Amino acid sequence: MEKKKIIGTDFDGIITDTDPVFREYIKRVTGKQFYREQITKYFYEECLPITKDDVEKAYQLMLKENVWSRMELVDGAKDTLMELAEKFDIVVITARPADARRQSEEFLKRKGIPFKEIHFIKEGNNKINLIKEFPFKFEAFIEDRLDFARGIALSGIKTYMLDYPWNRCLGETANLYRVSSWKEIRESLSAALS
């Protein structure tokens, strides 16, 4: 049996629509209401009038209330990943807190999201550092955090970045493709990797 090629994917913002939930918890912690278009940087405390401590409190409350296992899927994620899993192994790499491992795995299994492995990067680390340690190579990667996407793309991996206010920038990066939906990802991957 021929070994499957591998596609990597981020979790939050890619499989799950985490931003509305996170903003809800920020509101619970700070009493302030924010909107998606205001999230112009990946780290909320860098673009909103909140502190890193507010963000940490929101994370802790999310863990306590088991919210990591109750998020909504990004439209098209499940269908596309199921289709891709027929030809590829799916490896999830996330910057979620490592404490959310059990909740994250339960979520993927309950929602029927196919994945071979899930990896949590250490805070302050970059996904490309972990990717370089793997004994396999990715055919493609799907990401929403701009610095991670650029690093992965510059390493030679075809990288798809779902378009959000926090990853818009000027300039292009080789191998980095901005897309508006999972449908676009599926069509591009089907054409490029068939």
Concatenating the DSSP letter of every residue in 51-118 gives -HHHHHHHHHHHHHTTGGGSPPBPTTHHHHHHHHTTTEEEEEEE-S-GGGHHHHHHHHHHHT---SEE
The pLDDT, as a whole number, for residue 193 is: 61
Taken in order of first residue, the domains within the chain and their CATH numbers are 5-17+72-193 (3.40.50.1000), 19-69 (no CATH)
For residues 82 and 88, give the distance between their C-alpha atoms in angstroms, rounded to a whole number. 10
Residue type, 170: L
Longest dimension (CA), the chain: 56
Q: What is the pLDDT of residues 90-149, one digit of tens each?
A: 999 999 888 889 999 999 999 999 999 999 998 778 999 999 999 999 999 999 999 999
Please give the model's pTM, rounded to 2 decimal places: 0.93
For residues 88 and 115, give the distance between their C-alpha atoms in angstroms, rounded to a whole number. 10
Please name the helix (run of DSSP H) or strand (run of DSSP E) that holds residue 177, with its range, or none. Answer: strand 176-179
